[in-house]
């Protein structure tokens, strides 16, 4: 695989671009499309003094290197950062076990799971990142996450996410507090949902 040359875009550059764009174009809060102030097609993983310890808000980084077939990103004047990555796999490198080279272990592990299990894993990932414990076994998202975003994480359609969440709400696996859009989940029950294969059997690999 021909890996693209990677460069680092410092956060200060992104912040400066947003500040200058907002001063020129405003905050982009209207109905018009916010103008793009920055586009990029390269990214780089950081480590050492740039990332110590190796986690960001509790999300631990991977020990192995990655390469991507294509990267497209842009930054809007309203601060919206959009990144699309295709062909993200382990490279053909000495530090990567031969059986993993050219693969994505996350995709491979989830590909055989039924859509509800993939949605459950996506929601659990969000719980680990932005979940706040609000009761015995209960976690509430500190931010509102759309069904479309959950679908993108799980690799399923938004409609599938909607049906799954409705079923989980009926069974008490998840709920939305009155007057709030933030999702509250029963983590232990969601973990059970995340190991279900098509047909209802438990997943034999990759336990949580």
135 C-beta neighbours (distance < 10 Å), count: 9
108-193 CATH: 1.10.10.10
Read off the tokens for 73. Answer: 């990103």
pLDDT at 94 over 70: yes
At 40-87, the pLDDT tens digits run 888 776 655 555 555 555 555 667 788 888 888 888 888 787 888 788
- Name the one residue in this structure whose structure tokens are 């059986």: 99
pLDDT at 91 over 80: yes
**Domain map (residue ranges) of the chain:** 11-103, 108-193
pLDDT of residue 113: 78
Which has more confidence, 33 or 194? Answer: 194
- Name the one residue in this structure whose structure tokens are 């059997």: 201
pLDDT of residue 129: 84
**Band (7; pLDDT cuts 50, 70, 90):** very low
User: Averaged over 162-168, what is the pLDDT?
Assistant: 95
pLDDT of residue 59: 54
DSSP state of 202: B
pLDDT of residue 1: 38
- CA separation for the pair 153, 147 (Å, rounded): 10
Query: Within 13 Å of residue 133, how many CA atoms lie on the same side as its CB?
Result: 4
pLDDT of residue 208: 37
Least confident stretch, 105-109, 129-133, 173-177: 105-109
At 169-205, the pLDDT tens digits run 999 999 987 777 789 999 999 998 987 645 444 443 3
Query: What's the pTM value of the predicted model, to 2 decimals?
Result: 0.51
Instruction: Assess contact for 190 and 174: CB atoms under 8 A.
Output: yes
């Amino acid at each position: 695989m021909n890996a693209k040359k990677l460069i680092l875009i410092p956060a200060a550059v992104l912040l400066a671009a947003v500040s200058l764009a907002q001063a020129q174009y405003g905050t982009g809060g209207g109905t018009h499309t916010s103008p793009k102030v920055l586009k990029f097609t390269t990214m780089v993983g950081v480590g050492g003094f740039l990332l110590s310890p190796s986690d960001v808000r509790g999300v631990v980084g991977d020990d192995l290197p990655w390469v991507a077939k294509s990267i497209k990103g842009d930054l809007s004047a309203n601060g919206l950062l959009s990144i699309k990555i295709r062909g993200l796999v382990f490279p053909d490198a000495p530090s990567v076990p031969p059986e993993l080279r050219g693969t994505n272990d996350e995709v491979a592990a989830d590909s055989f799971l039924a859509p509800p299990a993939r949605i459950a894993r996506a929601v659990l990932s969000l719980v680990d990142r932005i979940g706040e414990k609000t009761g015995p076994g209960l976690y509430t998202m500190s931010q509102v996450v759309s069904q479309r975003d959950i679908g993108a994480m799980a690799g399923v359609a938004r409609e599938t996410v909607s049906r799954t969440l409705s079923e989980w709400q009926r069974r008490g696996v998840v709920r939305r507090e009155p007057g709030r859009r933030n999702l509250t989940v029963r983590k232990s029950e969601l973990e059970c949902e995340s190991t279900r294969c098509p047909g209802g059997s438990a997943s034999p690999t990759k336990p949580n």
